[in-house]
Amino acid sequence: MSATGIAGPATFPTFDDAVARFDPVMGMEVHVELGTATKMFCGCSTSFGADPNSQVCPTCLGLPGSLPVVNRRAVESAIRIGLALNCSIAEWCRFARKNYFYPDMPKNFQVSQYDEPIAFDGWMDVSVDGDDGPSTYRIGIERAHMEEDTGKSEHVGGATGRIHGASHSLLDYNRSGIPLIEIVTKPIEVPGSLAPAIARAYVTELRELIRALGVSEARMELGQLRCDANVSLRPAGTTTFGTRTETKNVNSLRSVERAVTYEIRRQAALLDQGAQIIQETRHWHEDTGETTAGRVKEEAEDYRYFPEPDLVPVAPSREWVEQLRATLPEAPAARRARLQAAWGFTDLEMRDVVNAGAMSLIEATVEAGADPAGAKKWWLGEISRSANERGVAIDEAGITPEQVARVEELVRAGSLNDKLARQVVEGVLAGEGGPDDVVEARGLAVVSDDSALGAAVDDAIAAMPDVAEKIRGGNHGAVGALIGAVMKATKGQADAKRARELIMERLGS
């Protein structure tokens, strides 16, 4: 058997062929690490990047005699997530022990929720581009429950960082006990050709929602949002679900789409051979774009779940739930639609803005007085480019919305032209200070004062008598060449409009 689960060399049908003959069903499980200050059941800090095992205590190490206490903030975040996902909130629910051994889990059980999740039966709409424009799909939410994160193993001495080939392993329990919310969808049955894009859109939208709620930064590259993708196939047009695989830890939006695509093709190849799909977990490999077999999937009963005896049930009062409902932010999709309408952007423009992560930045720039088109031009142009080149996020590029608005203001007032404005932005990004500092230090003001411009205009006319003659003869289109010369002479700082007026005056046109 190869890594693909197929005997001999893998020949997969194309994606289009696979989804023409099979209907995929998906299920997404997303873990969100909450941004609470302390852990789920103890007072240890959750801050990222501390020395290994420096943020631990008897409770999160599972030492004898320690007792957990629920973090109210985490429950509050769980309820807000549930409400934002249109879920019902349990009036009474318990934690449960999920029993298994793994070295990164010192208690030998994980405190989770089982048949009594805090939030259940909700939905979220996502929208994707199909052949005939964007369409919206409603993703059912099965449940959102609270649990605690495990510690982290680091396998040392091997080439891959995986346990195979490692000489020894190190354990860091700083992450042990950090609050997690697991959000599980109902089976997602959508047109097969769109399934990977819908899976990606779901995780994208969920990430936006989590961020809008302010409960987590939800940065996938830091593992703050982790996605497992369940996929099964059934013959097109049939209703019984096929056997699913669960691809673990798909840790970027692009990978969500790729992993689902890969599993659809791989399973189609197996089914074509008359083979059975094994219900198993699979590992996603970012580098090769493949999944490989993990463990054969255990059933819920294998975990011997039972209600956690050391914790009281969580019984959020209806008043509290309603108070939390009142704190919900505008839904991301509604916000996007509202801003797009206010700014007058096309769907395509808005998509670029969203993809660049520039929506809030443009919003703040407009609030600071810039016009939307001008704000978009800077954030999606100069600033994005500079951020990309340096590998930093656009909001860490080194310029604020207020500064961008100030540059636009200087342009509107005529003290900067487009070329000079670009140099100002460049200067701000390079850490030379705010726009006014850069203008001052680099001497970047538009020259519109007649005495300074006049000399450059005279020189240009003297240097190009033939052009001057044409203009005198009524060919006003030729003026561009003279303006160009004036610009060159003033290093781009001339007020082009005033230069044109002066040239026309001098040539009597």
- Give the interface with ligand ADP as residue ranges (CB under 6 A): 25-29, 142, 184-187, 230-232, 241-242, 244, 246
478 binds Zn ion (CB under 5 A): no
Run of H or E residues at 288: none
Select the binding partner of residue 216 from ligand ADP, Zn ion, Mg ion, none (C-beta < 5 to 8 A, by kind).
none
- 351-to-126, 127, 341 alpha-carbon distances in Å: 14, 12, 13
Query: Strand locations in 407-461, DSSP E?
Result: none
C-beta of 268 vs 446, nearer to ligand ADP = 268
Token pair, residue 260, equals: 């689902």
Nearest-angstrom CA–CA distance, 308 and 298: 21
> 244 contacts which partner out of Zn ion, ligand ADP, Mg ion, none, CB within 5 to 8 A by kind?
ligand ADP
Least CB distance to Zn ion at residue 42 (A) = 3
In the complex with Mg ion, the residue whose CB is nearer, 29 or 432, is 29
> CB under 5 to 8 A by kind: which of ligand ADP, Mg ion, Zn ion, none does 57 bind?
Zn ion
Cα angle vertex 81, ends 75, 84, to 5°? 140
- Between residues 17 and 298, which has the closer beta carbon with respect to Mg ion? 298
Q: Which is nearer to ligand ADP, 264 or 358 (CB)?
A: 264
Q: Measured over all CA atoms, what is the biggest interatomic distance in the chain, rounded to whole angstroms?
A: 100
Q: Indicate whether 479 belongs to the interface with Zn ion (CB under 5 A).
A: no
Q: Whole-angstrom Cα distance, residue 255 to residue 240?
A: 28
Our CB check for Mg ion shows the closer of 29 and 426 to be 29
d(CA 293, CA 113): 27
> Residue 35: which of 214, 171, 163, 166 has the closest Cα?
214
Using the minimum distance from each CB to Mg ion, give the nearer residue, 29 or 395.
29
Q: Which of residues 9-68 bind Mg ion (CB under 5 A)?
A: 29
Beta carbon nearer to ligand ADP, 246 or 501? 246
Candidates 35-43, 108-116, 221-229, 289-297; binding stretch for Zn ion (CB under 5 A): 35-43
- Round to whole Å and give the CA distance between 225 and 205: 12
As measured in angstroms, the least distance from the Cβ of 28 to ligand ADP is 6
Dihedral, 165, 166, 172, 175 alpha carbons, nearest 10: -10
Q: Name the residue whose CB lies closest to Mg ion.
A: 29
Outline where 326-472 has alpha helix (H): 332-343, 347-355, 359-367, 372-378, 384-390, 401-412, 418-429, 435-442, 450-463, 465-472
State in angstroms the smallest separation of the CB of 295 from ligand ADP. 12
DSSP 197-211: HHHHHHHHHHHHHHH
| Whether 295 contacts 278, CB under 8 Å | no
**Could you say which of Mg ion, Zn ion, ligand ADP, none residue 241 binds, taking C-beta under 5 to 8 angstroms by partner kind?**
ligand ADP
The item of Zn ion, Mg ion, ligand ADP, none sharing an interface with residue 55, based on CB under 5 to 8 Å by kind, is: none
How many residues sit in the footprint of Zn ion (CB under 5 A)? 5
Tokens linked to 252: 């970027």
Q: Which does 192 bind (CB under 5 to 8 A by kind): Mg ion, Zn ion, ligand ADP, none?
A: none
Q: Decide if residue 60 touches Zn ion (CB under 5 A).
A: yes
CB of 247 to Mg ion, least distance (A): 13
Which residues here bind Mg ion, judged by CB under 5 A?
Answer: 29
